[in-house]
Amino acid sequence: MARIIALTGKGGVGKTTICSAFVRIIGETYPEAKILAIDADPAVGLSTALGVEVKKTLDDIRREIIEKAQSGAGREAVELLGEVRYRIFDALVETDSFAFLAIGRPEGAGCYCAVNAYLKEVIEMVSKDFDYVVIDGEAGIEQINRRVMEKVNHLYLISDASKKGLQVADSIHEVAKELVQFEKCGLILNRVEDPEIVSYLISEGRTDIEILCVIPGDPAHARNDILGKSIFELNGDAPILRGAKEALDKMQAE
């Protein structure tokens, strides 16, 4: 069974970048390991961060099954459901160091409940085929509330030093303690220039979650991001990679 690592937090705090850094670090540390990166955020940013091109998503597969059933092609729908496991693997993007799977973004406005429920089943289904599953969760608390990531080994909460970011992290943490079976949980503070801010946040009671590392801003990474370059094109000594490595080590997630 895979070791499942999930990342969540407020939108815009660097969650996707740190997720891609985890994938790179685990792959470089254990080149023989089978790694699956799941983009569970409908904002679909992890594929760019990892430099992969997505042609089919989980929601594409879900809609194909629904369309077959609604068209009256009952037999075909049953066959699709029977082959769903293989259809999921058809949606995998394979690279030399990891596989990638995207939840996709349902067409039109509305609730993501259906695809989130499907994602929960997919995580349970495919995790046995990999050594590591690294999940870039949807921003906010929705997937935790719906128990999409019901059972994970390591839950990473990502925030900047803002009051709002930390409030979201704390809210996710409180809900996760009731709804998610996790072994370890910790907080990564991203884009924080002064490490002494940690003492201030603790003294002010801003968070009671264990702070794993403090990652400063990185102009080189910002430049790569603007140019659409992947995490693999970043210098190995970059702050985001050093911080991600520290966070993995502290929770013994590798």
Whether 11 and 110 have beta carbons less than 8 Å apart is answered as: no
Per-residue pLDDT, averaged over 73-87, amounts to 59
Q: Tokens 């994938």 belong to which residue? A: 23
pLDDT at 237 over 70: yes
Give the pLDDT band of residue 34 (cuts 50, 70, 90): very high
Whole-model pTM: value is 0.88
Per-residue pLDDT, averaged over 185-200, amounts to 89
Give the pLDDT band of residue 116 (cuts 50, 70, 90): low
Q: Average per-residue pLDDT in the chain?
A: 84
At 110 the pLDDT is 47
Give the pLDDT band of residue 179 (cuts 50, 70, 90): confident
Residue 70 is part of which domain span? 3-250
Q: How many domains does the chain have?
A: 1
Whether 38 and 134 have beta carbons less than 8 Å apart is answered as: yes
The CA-atom distances, in angstroms, between 145 and each of 103, 174, 178, 243 are 17, 11, 10, 28
The better pLDDT of the pair 142, 98 is held by: 98
Per DSSP, what are the bridge partners of residue 7? 136, 156
Give the pLDDT band of residue 17 (cuts 50, 70, 90): very high
**CATH number of the domain enclosing 15:** 3.40.50.300
Distance CA 232, CA 253 (A): 20
Q: Tokens 């608390």 belong to which residue? A: 141
Nearest one of 202, 207, 204 to 186, comparing CA atoms: 207
Lowest mean pLDDT among 67-71, 175-179, 237-241: 67-71
